[in-house]
Chains A and B, each alone.
Chain A
């Protein structure tokens, strides 16, 4: 089995798993309790906060634990919107290919009277900082741009956008769910005010994530209740999950240079191999992308069929085709970078794990080549393309 869907989720690391299981068993106290087993849980929670803060260059008090990336995105955006609304600033700048946790929150705010401007992500899948600056108005309360795209892996010029936001005195949030643990992220150097992260994207457990909120940025609560997380997120803390997240992140941060070097080599090997397929194209910039992300469109085939046949060969991947999302439209990300529906349906995302080998990369290339050829063999679109009845798009 070659699992190549790490952007969907990752397997927990040994360190994370050991941390989590031993804490579930031994430190089950409530961190708000004053006796020993509670206070021990409190220590572990705060140590995890320190560790995570250190990794991203934050102060521990700037880290709020959440149930994951979506909650962090929701809270960050709604907090900034509430601060803006109080001043009559009801305009937000974002991009067309954000995660739905961001886009759907923005849609909800729109219904409440906010105006949203989506910056172009261009054919290479990268936002242009100057265009973000142009989109900022007097009444802009927030800019929210993802650190790296979840489907096509393109890395955004976060530091430059952050600097513009500082200059224009606008809050800057980044959904860093795909970036944290994989590429260097430093909230101070990157001029970030709010940042979302999710543990299961970097070998931590599911159901846990964090929100970084720069000191002085007042958060609104999504969940009201007790005084946990300094009153900004009620609910008894998920101590084993949080500690496991910290263990996973620390390990990923330590191994980042070697992991990235290896993944980039494997990624580029895959890209070269898949580019040999005719009428196929890489999605997003070839260099400014996550170390483990390979995203392609193949003309004349549909993505779900490709995934099912790859699965039969022991390769797990994903697609932005409509059929895999349960909707009629293919991925909004692929449409945002200008892929037309016809080819966006034939997309494949491979997101590699750190332990992928050269032999496995070659096996993936071979399997994709064979399956694409097989499916094209009985595709009416491909027949029209080959007979000259239809002009190729790619």
Chain B
């Protein structure tokens, strides 16, 4: 059995939405180098729709794959929907992660949320309530 699912390996080998958005209006960075994972998300939001999203990640295979999948799951979506992204959804979309790698999907969720909060701070638009 391989360490990762084919989906994880695909997103690791060919990460989607890699890079920087120069005129991003929402940026979030989570994790720290000490723990071996840092994710940085850049959002370009227009009319409350995520027009573009890019990421930079320092981390293991599942951290890179989780970042990539998270960007795919929110691209083109309304902010309200993106706010509801969960780590579980990221992991499921990747056909699962090993137990000790689940924190990578948590980090991806936190990175997206952090970028959305930054957008909210910049624009003054209140964020929709988090789902209970």
- Select one of A300, A305, A342 contacting B64, CB under 8 A: A305
**CB-defined contacts of B60 to chain A, threshold 8 Å:** 302-305, 321, 323
Chain B, residues 24-57, CB within 8 Å of chain A (1/0): the string is 0000010001111111100000000000000111
A contact set with B: CB distance below 8 Å: 300-305, 308-309, 312, 321-323, 326, 328, 330, 340-342, 345, 378-383
A341 and B56 contact, CB distance less than 8 A? no
Closest partner residue, chain B, to A307 (CB atom): B61
Tell me, rounded to whole Å, the shortest Cβ–Cβ distance linking A317 to chain B: 15
**Is B63 among interface residues, defined by CB-CB distance under 8 A?**
yes
**CB-defined contacts of B20 to chain A, threshold 8 Å:** 383
B59 and A383 contact, CB distance less than 8 A? no
How many residues of chain B get a CB closer than 8 Å to chain A's CBs? 28
Question: In the bound complex, how far is the Cα of B18 from the Cα of A383, in angstroms?
Answer: 13
Task: Classify the secondary structure of B's interface with A.
Answer: mixed
Tell me, rounded to whole Å, the shortest Cβ–Cβ distance linking A342 to chain B: 4
Closest partner residue, chain A, to B103 (CB atom): A328
Question: In the bound complex, how far is the Cα of B2 from the Cα of A308, in angstroms?
Answer: 11
Closest partner residue, chain B, to A326 (CB atom): B100
A381 and B58 contact, CB distance less than 8 A? yes
List the 7 shortest-distance A-B pairs measured between CB atoms, nearest first: A323-B60, A304-B60, A342-B33, A345-B36, A341-B34, A380-B40, A379-B58
Question: In the bound complex, how far is the Cα of B20 from the Cα of A309, in angstroms?
Answer: 22
Question: In the bound complex, how far is the Cα of B9 from the Cα of A382, in angstroms?
Answer: 23
**CB-defined contacts of B63 to chain A, threshold 8 Å:** 302
**Is B15 among interface residues, defined by CB-CB distance under 8 A?**
yes
A321 and B36 contact, CB distance less than 8 A? yes
**Is B88 among interface residues, defined by CB-CB distance under 8 A?**
no
Quick one: given A308-B12, A321-B60, A326-B100, are A378 and B36 in contact (CB under 8 Å)?
A: no
Question: In the bound complex, how far is the Cα of B33 from the Cα of A330, in angstroms?
Answer: 11
B29 and A380 contact, CB distance less than 8 A? yes
Question: In the bound complex, how far is the Cα of B9 from the Cα of A381, in angstroms?
Answer: 23
Question: In the bound complex, how far is the Cα of B59 from the Cα of A328, in angstroms?
Answer: 12
Tell me, rounded to whole Å, the shortest Cβ–Cβ distance linking A371 to chain B: 12
Question: In the bound complex, how far is the Cα of B65 from the Cα of A309, in angstroms?
Answer: 13
Quick one: given A302-B58, A323-B60, are A381 and B33 in contact (CB under 8 Å)?
A: yes
Tell me, rounded to whole Å, the shortest Cβ–Cβ distance linking A306 to chain B: 10
